Amino acid sequence: MKLALIIFGALSVAFLGALFFAVYTIFVMKKETMENNDIDEMTGLRNRDGFMRAGKEMLEHNHNRSDGEIALIVFDVDKLRLINTLFGTDEGDKVVCAFADTIKSIAGKGDVVGRVDTDDFALLTKLHGKTSTEIADGFGKMLPTLIANSSVCEQLNFYAGVCVYDGHDDIYTLFNKANLCLLTHSDNQRVSEFTHEMENRMVENEIMRSEMLDALKNGQFELYYQPKVLFKTGEIMGVEALIRWHHPVKGFVPPCDFIPLAEQFGIITKIDEWGLFTACRQGKKWHDMGLRSIVISVNMSQAQFVRTDVYATVLSALTETGFDPKQLEIEVTETMAMTDVEHTVSVLNKIHELGVSISMDDFGTGYSSLASLKTIPFDVLKIDRSLVCDVNDNDTSRRITSAIVAMGKALKMVVLAEGVETNEQSKLLTDLGCDLAQGYYYSKPRPANEITEMLTVYMDGEEAI
Ligand code: C2E
Ligand code: CA
Ligand code: CA
pLDDT in tens, 413-461: 999 999 999 999 999 999 999 999 999 999 999 999 999 999 998 766 6
Residues 6+ apart with CB under 8 A from 108: 125, 126, 128
Ligand 1 pocket mutation pick from 242, 257, 386, 441 by most atoms within 8 angstroms of CB: 242
- Helix, strand or coil for residue 457? helix
- Helix, strand or coil for residue 226? strand
| 207-459 shares the fold of 48-194 | no
The CATH number given to 48-194 is 3.30.70.270
* Buried-state track 282-307, b at ≥16 Cβ within 10 A, e below 16: bbbebbeeebeebbbbbbbbbbbbee
Q: What is the pLDDT of residue 30?
A: 45
State pTM to two decimals: 0.71
Compute CA distances 120 → 93, 117, 125, whole Å: 13, 5, 16
Ligand nearest to the CA of 329: 2
**How far apart are alpha carbons 230 and 237 in whole angstroms?**
7
Using the mean position of ligand 3's atoms as its centre, give its distance from the Cα of residue 369 in Å.
16
Q: What is the pLDDT of residue 96?
A: 92
Q: What is the pLDDT of residue 374?
A: 81
Where are the chain's structural domains?
A: 48-194, 207-459
User: How would you class 39 by CB atoms within 10 Å of its CB: exposed for 0-12, middle for 13-18, buried for 19 or more?
Assistant: middle
Using the mean position of ligand 3's atoms as its centre, give its distance from the Cα of residue 196 in Å.
35
**How far apart are alpha carbons 182 and 176 in whole angstroms?**
10
Residues having CB within 6 Å of any atom of ligand 1: 226, 242-243, 254-256, 259, 268, 272, 275, 299, 301, 361-362, 385, 419, 421, 438-440, 445
Residue 363 CB: number of other CB atoms within 10 A? 26
Q: How many CA atoms, within 13 angstroms, populate the side-chain half-sphere of residue 396?
A: 2
Q: What is the pLDDT of residue 31?
A: 47
Using the mean position of ligand 1's atoms as its centre, give its distance from the Cα of residue 215 in Å.
19
Using the mean position of ligand 3's atoms as its centre, give its distance from the Cα of residue 320 in Å.
28
Using the mean position of ligand 3's atoms as its centre, give its distance from the Cα of residue 299 in Å.
9
**By the 8 A CB rule, do 70 and 57 touch?**
no
What does each of the 465 residues of the chain score in pLDDT, given as a tens digit? 565 556 655 656 565 555 555 545 444 444 444 456 889 999 999 999 999 999 999 998 887 666 678 999 999 998 887 788 778 888 889 889 999 999 999 999 999 999 999 899 999 999 988 887 788 888 888 887 777 666 777 767 899 999 999 888 999 999 999 998 987 777 677 899 999 888 888 788 889 999 999 999 999 999 999 999 999 999 999 999 999 999 999 999 999 999 989 988 889 999 999 999 999 999 999 999 999 999 999 999 988 887 788 999 999 999 999 999 999 999 998 777 666 778 888 999 999 999 999 999 999 876 556 777 888 899 999 999 999 999 999 999 999 999 999 999 999 999 999 999 999 999 999 999 999 999 999 999 999 999 999 999 876 665 556
**By the 8 A CB rule, do 438 and 416 touch?**
yes
- Write phi, then psi, for 221 (nearest 5 degrees): -90, 145
Q: Which element (helix H / strand E) includes 115?
A: strand 112-117
365 DSSP assignment: S
CA nearest 307: which of 277, 336, 281, 350?
A: 336
**How far apart are alpha carbons 41 and 353 in whole angstroms?**
42
Q: Kindly list the strands in the beta sheet with 70-77, ordered across the sheet, starting from the edge strand earlier in the chain.
A: 112-117, 120-126, 70-77, 158-164, 191-193
Pair type for strands 221-230 and 236-247 = antiparallel
**Which residue has the least CA distance to atom 22 on ligand 1?**
419
Using the mean position of ligand 3's atoms as its centre, give its distance from the Cα of residue 437 in Å.
12
Q: Does domain 207-459 have CATH number 1.20.1250.20?
A: no
**How far apart are alpha carbons 226 and 152 in whole angstroms?**
41
**Which residue has the least CA distance to atom 19 on ligand 1?**
419
In ligand 1, the atom with minimum distance to the C-alpha of 441 is: 18
Pair type for strands 380-383 and 414-417 = parallel
**By the 8 A CB rule, do 240 and 331 touch?**
yes
Q: What is the pLDDT of residue 32?
A: 45
**Which residue has the least CA distance to atom 17 on ligand 1?**
419
**Which residue has the least CA distance to atom 21 on ligand 1?**
419
DSSP β-bridge partners for residue 246: 252
**How far apart are alpha carbons 345 and 364 in whole angstroms?**
20
**Which residue has the least CA distance to atom 8 on ligand 1?**
242
User: How would you class 190 by CB atoms within 10 Å of its CB: exposed for 0-12, middle for 13-18, buried for 19 or more?
Assistant: middle
Using the mean position of ligand 3's atoms as its centre, give its distance from the Cα of residue 207 in Å.
28
Q: Look at the alpha carbons of 354, 359, 361, 364 in this order and tell me if their dihedral is positive or negative.
A: positive
Rounded (5°) CA angle 376-380-382: 110
Q: What is the pLDDT of residue 266?
A: 84
- What pLDDT digit, counting tens, does each position of 67-100 carry? 678 999 999 998 887 788 778 888 889 889 999 9
Q: Which element (helix H / strand E) includes 62?
A: none
